[in-house]
Structures are given as C-alpha cells and as structure tokens.
Chains A and B, each alone.
Chain A
C-alpha cells in the first residue's frame, strides 16, 4: 500500500499567521486532491490538481502539485478561525481510478 505522509500532524497558530501543510509520497500520482473535514462531518473537497507544477488558488488558499507529481503543498495566507479543521490530501495513482489513497491528515487550529 502506497503511503501519503502529511506534515505537520498538528498545527496551532494565531489568527492572521501564514502556514503551509505538506503532503509527500515516494509514488507518482496522476492527480491529487485536498479536503477539509470539520468535527462530526465528512470531508469536503477543496481542489483537484492533475498537472505537475500546477498551482491553484482558492481565495486565501494556494495549492501546488510538485513537478514530479509526488508531493503537494497547501499554503494558507492570513489564517482565520474558520480555517480550523482536519486537512487531508488524497492521491490517485492512475487516471480514471476509483481508488484514492488518503494521507494521515493535518489538524489545524486557528486561535482568535
């Protein structure tokens, strides 16, 4: 089973700070997704990246897919308490697959 390792596991920051979450693997992925999950709820998709080197922005969130398609990062600018949650990356090894491999997650807490 291929693994997706996320770092850091836990992150507690003050409102207004910037942060980066990393998702790394030794495997090449055809696509990679980022999700946010709040307590008691299922994950919600934030973005899908499919091209090596691709950068996508979603308001204050910037997602990057590594050139070699083995890693990805999520950068949040000026974090807000509403960003608090569990961030999960998930990768697909082949295009068209239904099997996504999920990372272990980064639990973010933004303090007001």
Chain B
C-alpha cells in the first residue's frame, strides 16, 4: 500500500497562474483533508471531505477550491495563485472523524508563488 500520495512534490508558479494539487489514498478511507503549513503557524485546515460527495470549508478556504473526484481522490485547485499561498500543502485521510481514528498524511507539496 502506498498510503497517501501527492503530486507534484514541488511547484513554482507566477502570480495569477492556476494549478491543481492532486491527492490519492489507497486505504479505502471515507474522509480526506487539505492542510497548509507555514513557518511558525503549524498546520491549518483548508478544506475537508467527510465522505465521498461532500466537501466543507476549513479554517483558511479563501483562494482555494476542492473536488472529491471519487473515494480515492481529493484535489485542491488554486485559480489565481498569490504569493501569500506560498506554503507546504499536505493531504490527509482517515476512515472516521480524526478524534476516533488516525489521520494519515501524505509527503507534502512545496509550492512557491513568485
């Protein structure tokens, strides 16, 4: 099992460009999440999908859109990238809500917006 995979691993964008971060899990998990991690700020939840067909906003959703393509895949789209979106992005998945189940994280995507 690969667990949670993310592509790409690194990306450099210019302000205003768009891109989609891909995430897939092979653990048959119901729930998937997108976080961003910035120095000195821990991880902040952008969007989550509690189950296939549903998505909800997290703490910092502005400037992002998500798609739960199927049970395995959850993508994050930046429509018009801004320097403030320079960060490390992590996808995670869990079978149940995190309090009662383990959240497994992918290796991250390092995004720089110039």
The docked-state distance in angstroms from the alpha carbon of A49 to that of B102 is: 12
CB < 8 Å: which of A45, A50, A98, A103 contacts B42?
A103
Instruction: State whether A92 touches B105 (Cβ < 8 A).
Output: no
- Chain B residues with CB below 8 A from A82, complex form: none
The docked-state distance in angstroms from the alpha carbon of A32 to that of B11 is: 33
Number of contact residues on A: which range applies?
20 to 34
The docked-state distance in angstroms from the alpha carbon of A31 to that of B90 is: 22
CB closest residue in chain A, given B106: A42
The docked-state distance in angstroms from the alpha carbon of A84 to that of B51 is: 35
Given the contacts A41-B108, A98-B31, A102-B44, A1 and B59 also touching, CB distance less than 8 Å: yes
Instruction: State whether A100 touches B107 (Cβ < 8 A).
Output: no
B50 part of interface (Cβ distance < 8 Å): yes
Instruction: State whether B98 touches A92 (Cβ < 8 A).
Output: yes
B45 part of interface (Cβ distance < 8 Å): yes
The docked-state distance in angstroms from the alpha carbon of A90 to that of B98 is: 10
Given the contacts A104-B40, A104-B42, A98 and B56 also touching, CB distance less than 8 Å: yes
The docked-state distance in angstroms from the alpha carbon of A17 to that of B97 is: 36
CB distance from B100 to the nearest CB of A (A): 8
CB distance from A15 to the nearest CB of B (A): 27
The docked-state distance in angstroms from the alpha carbon of A93 to that of B72 is: 28
Q: Which A37-60 residues have a C-beta within 8 angstroms of B?
A: 40-45, 48, 50
| Additional pairs, 17, CB under 8 Å, beyond known A90-B43, A97-B99 | A4-B42, A9-B40, A30-B99, A41-B105, A43-B105, A48-B99, A50-B99, A90-B42, A96-B100, A97-B98, A98-B31, A98-B48, A98-B97, A99-B58, A99-B59, A102-B42, A103-B42
